[in-house]
Structure 1
Amino acid sequence: MENIKTKMLRKEDPSIYATKDAHLKRTLTTKDFLALGVGTIVSATIFTLPGDVAAKHAGPAVILSFIGAAIVAGLVAFAYAEMASAMPFAGSAYSWINIIFGEFFGWIAGWALLAEYFIAVAFVGAGFSANFRGLISPLGLQLPKSLANAFGTDGGIIDITAAVVILLAAALLSMGVSKASRVENILVVAKVLAILVFIAVGATAIHVRNYFPFIPKYHANPDGSAFGGWQGVYTGVSMIFLSYVGFDSIAANSAEAKDPQKTMPRGILGSLIIAVTLFVAVALVLVGMFKYTAYANNAEPVGWALRQSNHETVAVVVQAVAVLGMFTALIGMMLAGSRLIYSFGRDGLLPRWLGKLDHAQRPNRALLILTLGAVVIGAIFPFGTLAQLISAGTLIAFMFVTLGIYGLRKREGKDIAEPGFKMPFYPVLPLLGFLGSLLVFLGLSRNAKIYSLVWFVIGLLIYFGYGISHSFLNKK
C-alpha cells in the first residue's frame, strides 16, 4: 500500500517536461492567443444562452448571472496566467498539478479537463449543425431527421453536419498549428464584427419596460430548478459558466508559445476581458429588445430577435458569420484537447504512441483520438445534455489550479522559473477562486454531477489499471 501511495504522490521534475516539449515548435504570439481565446470562449453560447437562461431562470437579471460567472472565471484566469507563465508546458492543468501535487492529482485534473474537451467539441459541433440547418431552411434545404439529430433523438441516427464539421476542423489542425491560427484569426475578427453589428442594430429596438421587474419573483420550475429571485440568478451563473471556460484552452498550447512568460498572461486575461464585455453587451441588448419570456425554448434568440424587429437582412448576415465563427471554437478546443491527450501519452499514463509526434512534429495521433471521441459523443448525446456536462469537469480542474498557486509560490525562482505574471492579492485571491469554482459546481444540475461521477470512476479504473504501472515517472 505504501508503494502505491508513493507512486501516486511522486512529482514530475519541471525540467523533464521542458525537454519533452522542446520538439513542439514555438510559433504562437499574443495575437494568436487572443484570437484563440476569443474564438473559443465566444462560440455557440453567446448566440443561445442569454435568451435561454433569461427565460428559464433569471429573467432580465441574466446580466447579473453573466457578471457573476465572469468574476469567478476571472479569479481562475489569474491563477492560469501565473501557472502558464511559470510552467509553459503542454497539457496545462494536468502537467502543472503533476509537478505541484503529484501524478495522481495531475491525472485527476487532466481527466477532468479531457471531459471538457471531448464534450465541448461535440457541443460546438452540434451548435454549428443547429444554426447551419436553421440558416439553410428558408432556402428549402432540409436534412432527413435520421441525419439531423443525435441517436435516439426525434428519429435521429447521427448528426451528420456536426460530424463533418468536426472532421474538417481536425483536417485543418493536422496541417499544423500555424495554418490553423491564420484561419482562426480571420474568422474571429469576422465573428466579433457580427456581434458588434447585432449590438448596434439591436440597441435601436430596446424597450426599457422589458427590463422590469429586473429580478422576477422566485418560484420553482417543474424540473425543480429555480426561476427568479437570487436563486434564479445563482442557477444562471452555473449554467452560464460554460460560456467562459474556453480560456483554459490557451494554456494547453503554452508549449507552442513564443516568449510564454509574456504571451500567456496577455492571451489568457486579454481574451477573457474581451469575451466578458461581448457577453454582457449581448445579454443586455437581447433582454431589452423583447420580454424575456419570448425566448423560452428558442434555439436562436439573436436571429429571432433581429427578424422580429424587421432586420431580416442583418439577421441572415449575423447568423451566417456566427455559423462560421463556431468553427473557431472547434479549432481552439481540438487544439487544446489533442495537446492534453498527447501529454498523457508523453508521460505513459495512456499508451505511449499517443505521445508520439509525426514527421512535422505534430501530435496528430492524439488529435485523431480526440476527433473520433467527439464524433461518437456528438452522435449519442443531444445538444441540451452536452451543455450540462461541459462545466462539471472543468470546475474540478479549476479548483486544483487555484489551490496549486500555494504550492507554486514556494518553488518559484528555485526549480520552477519566476513567472512574468503573478496572481495579485496573494494569498486571498487563490482561495476566493477555489471557493467560487466550488459554489458554481454545487449549482450544476443533478445529471451533470452524476455524469461527472461516472467519468471519474472510469478515470480511476484507467489510472489504477494501466497508468500507474506504465507511468514513465514511476519507472525512472
Structure 2
Amino acid sequence: MKAFWRRLTLKENPSVYEDKDSHLPRVLRVRDFLALGVGTIVSTSIFTLPGVVAADHAGPAVALSCLLASIVAGLVAFAYAEMSAAMPYAGSAYSWINVVFGEVFAWIAGWALLAEYFIAVAFVASGLSANLRGLLATFGIGIPNALANPLGSNGGIVDIFAVIVMILVAVLLSRGVSEAARVERFLVVLKVMAIIAFILIGLSAIHVQNYVPFIPPHQVLPSGKSFGGWSGVYTGVSMIFLAYIGFDSIAANAAEAKDPEHTMPRGIIGSLIIAVILFVSVSLVLVGMFNYKVYAGNAAPVGWALTHAGHPVAATVIESIAVLGMFTALIGMMMAGSRLLYSFGRDGMLPKGLGKLNKNKLPNNALALLTVIGVIIGSVFPFSFLTQLISAGTLIAFMFVTLGIYRLRPREGKDIINPAFKMPLYPFLPAAGFIGALIVFIGLDYQAKIYSGIWFIIGLIVYLLYGVRHSILGQRK
C-alpha cells in the first residue's frame, strides 16, 4: 500500500516542464493577458448577475457581495500570480500541483478545472446564442425552436448559434495566439467602453431612495427562499465569485508569456482589479436607477434599465456590443481549456495525441477535442442547467493552489526559480485564501456539490484505469 501511495504522489521535476513547454512560442504580453483576463471575467455575467443577485438575495447590498467576493478572489489571485511567475508552465494549477504535491493531487485539481472549461465553453456559447436571439427578436427576426434550443428542450434539435460561435473561435485560435490576442484586445476595449457608457448614462437616472435600506432585513419569501440580511449578501458572494474566476484562464497560458516573472502577476492582478471596479460600479448604478425588485426574473437588467430610463437606442447599442463582447470570454476559455488538455496529453495522463503540437507549435489536437465536447454539451444541455455546473471544480483547484504556496516557498531559489513577485504577508495570506475559497464553496448550491462529486468519481476512475498506467512520470520513475 505504501508503494502504491508513493507512486500516486510522485512529483514532476520542474526542469521537465520547462523543456516540454519550451516549444510553445512566448508571444503574449501584459496587454494580452489583461485583455484575456478582463474578457473572460467581464463576460455576460456583468450584464445579468448584479440584477439577479439584487432581486433574489441581497437588494442594494449586491455591491457589497461584489466587493467581498473580490477580496476572496484577490487572495487566490495573489497565489496564482506567484505560482505562474515561479512556474510558467501550460496547464496552470494542474502542472503546479504536480510539482509541489504530486501526480494524484494534480489530477484531482486538473480534472476539476477540466470540468469548468468543458462546461464553461458550452455555457458561454449558449449564453451568447440566447442574447443574440434576443437581440434579433427586437428587429423582428425569429429563429425556429428546432435551431434555437438544445436537443429535447422546447422542441429543439440543436442550438445552431452556439455551435457556430464555438467553431468560429476554434478556427481563430487554430491560426495562432497572436492573432487571437489582437481580436481579444479589440473586443475587450469595445466591451469596456459599452460598460462605461452604461455607467455614465445610468448616473443621470439614479434615485437615492432606491439604496434605502442598503441591506434589506432578512426575510423568508413566499417561495420559501431566504432574502436579505448578511445571509443574502453571503449568497451573493458565492454567486458573484464565480464571475471572477477567469484569471485561471490567464495562468493556463503562462507557457506562452513573454517575461512571465513580470507579465503573469501584472496580467492576473491587473485584470481582476479592472473587473472588480466595473462590477461594483454596474451594481451600484443598476440598483440606483430602479428598485431592485423590478429585476426579478429579468434576463437582461442592464438593457431593461436603460430602456425604461428613456434611453432605448443606448440600450440596443450596448446590448449589441455586449453580445459581440461575449466572444472574449469564449476566446479566453477555449485558449485555457485547450492548454489544460495539452498538458494532460503532454504528461500521458490522457492520450498522448493531445500533447502534440502542429507545425506552427500550436496544440490544435487539444483544441479540436475541446471544441467537439463543447458542441456536444451545448447541444444537449440547456443554458439553465449549465449554470449549476460551473463552480465547485474551480474552487477545489483554488484551495490546492493557495495551500501549494507553502510547498513552493522552500523550493524557490533552489530547483524552482526565485520569482520577482511573491504573495504578500506570508504565511498568513495563503491560509486566508484557502479559508475564503472554502467558505465560498460551502455557500454553493447543493446541486453544484453533487455534480462535482460525480465528476470527481469519474475522474478517479479514469486516473486509476488510464492515467496511472500511461503517465510519463510513472514510467520514468
Structure 1 residues without counterparts, runs of 5 or longer: none
User: Which residue matches 2:465?
Assistant: 465
Structure 2 distance, partners of 1:273, 1:388, is 26
Task: Judge which range, 388-397 or 148-157, deviates more.
Answer: 148-157
**By how many angstroms is 1:214 displaced?**
1.4
Supply the distance in 2 between the matched residues of 1:222 and 1:407 (Cα, whole angstroms). Answer: 50
Other-structure match for 2:17: 17
Task: Give, in whole Å, the separation in 1 of the partners of 2:456 and 2:154.
Answer: 30
Question: In the alignment, is the contact (CA less than 8 A) between 1:54 and 1:292 conserved in 2?
Answer: yes
Identity level (%): 66
Taking the TM superposition and a 5 Å limit, the aligned residue runs for 1:137-156 are 137-156=137-156
The more displaced of 232-241 and 95-104 is 232-241
Work out the CA distance in 1 between the residues paired with 2:53 and 2:297: 10
SS of 1:361's equivalent in the other structure is: coil
- 1:385-441 per-position Cα deviation (integer Å, ceiling 9, x unaligned): 222221211000000000000000010000000011000000000000000000000
Aligned equivalent of 1:36: 36
Letter aligned with residue 395 of structure 1: L
| Residue 125 (structure 2) aligns with | 125
Partner of 2:288: 288
Deviation string for 1:69-88 (max 9, x for gaps)?
10100000000000000000
SS in 1 for 2:88: coil
Residue number in structure 1 paired with 2:58: 58
Query: 1:150 Cα shift?
Result: 2.5
The whole-number CA distance in structure 2 between the counterparts of 1:9 and 1:384 is 38
Contact 1:55 1:292 in 2 (8 A): yes
Is the 1:36–1:250 contact (alpha carbons within 8 Å) kept by the matching residues of 2? yes
Other-structure match for 2:77: 77
Residue 390 of structure 1 aligns to a residue whose secondary structure is coil
Q: State the alpha-carbon separation in 1 of the partners of residues 111 and 4 from structure 2.
A: 20
CA distance in 1, matches of 2:113, 2:57: 27
In structure 2, the residue matched to 1:444 is 444
| Greater alpha carbon shift after TM alignment, 17-26 vs 2-11 | 2-11
Q: Secondary structure at the match of 1:320?
A: helix
Work out the CA distance in 2 between the residues paired with 1:29 and 1:373.
30
Partner of 1:359: 359
In structure 2, the gaps of 5 or more residues are none
User: 1: distance between equivalents of 2:472 and 2:180?
Assistant: 32
Q: Aligned letter for 1:443? A: G
Letter of the structure 2 residue corresponding to residue 228 of structure 1:
G
Aligned to 2:340: 340
Superimposed CA distance per residue, residues 285-312 of structure 1 (whole angstroms, 9 cap, x where no aligned partner): 0011111111111111111111111101
Within 1, Cα distance between the matches of 2:454 and 2:384? Answer: 19
Q: Once superposed, which parts of structure 1, at least 4 consecutive aligned residues long, lie more than 3 Å away?
A: 220-225
- Tell me which amino acid in the other structure corresponds to 1:413: G
Post-superposition shift, 1:184?
0.5
Tell me the distance in 2 between the aligned counterparts of 1:223 and 1:92: 42
Answer whether contact 1:239 1:388 (CA < 8 A) is retained.
Answer: no
1:379 & 1:238 partners in 2: Cα distance? 28
State the secondary structure of the residue aligned to 1:297: coil
**1:201-235 CA distance string (max 9 Å, x none):** 01111111111121122233567553111111111
| 1:431 counterpart = 2:454 | no
Aligned residue number for residue 306 of structure 1: 306
Who is 1:251 aligned against? 251
Q: Say which is worse superposed, 124-133 or 374-383, in terms of deviation.
A: 374-383
Give the letter for the 1:217 counterpart. Answer: P
CA distance in 2, matches of 1:332, 1:386: 18
Does the CA contact (< 8 Å) of 1:90 and 1:252 recur in 2?
A: yes
Q: Distance in 2 between matches of 1:448 and 1:352?
A: 31
Give me the whole-angstrom Cα distance separating, in 1, the residues matched to 2:325 and 2:130.
14
1:365-376 pair list within 5 angstroms: 365-376=365-376
Q: Residue 123 of structure 1: CA displacement?
A: 1.3
Aligned position for 2:238: 238
Cα separation, 2, equivalents of 1:415 and 1:312: 60
Q: Distance in 2 between matches of 1:27 and 1:297?
A: 44
Distance apart, 1:242 and its partner CA: 1.1
| CA–CA separation in structure 2 for the residues paired with 1:260 and 1:167 | 30
Q: d(CA) in 2 for partners of 1:19 and 1:148?
A: 46
Query: What's the secondary structure of 1:43's corresponding residue?
Result: coil
Match of 2:475 in 1: 475
Tell whether the 8 Å contact from 1:119 to 1:389 is kept in structure 2 after alignment. Answer: yes
Q: Is the 8 A contact 1:39 1:329 kept in 2?
A: yes
Residue in 1 that maps onto 2:403: 403
SS, match of residue 410 in structure 1: helix
Q: Distance in 2 between matches of 1:273 and 1:222?
A: 38
Residues 133-160 of structure 1: per-residue CA shift (max 9 Å, x gap): 1111121111112221223332223221
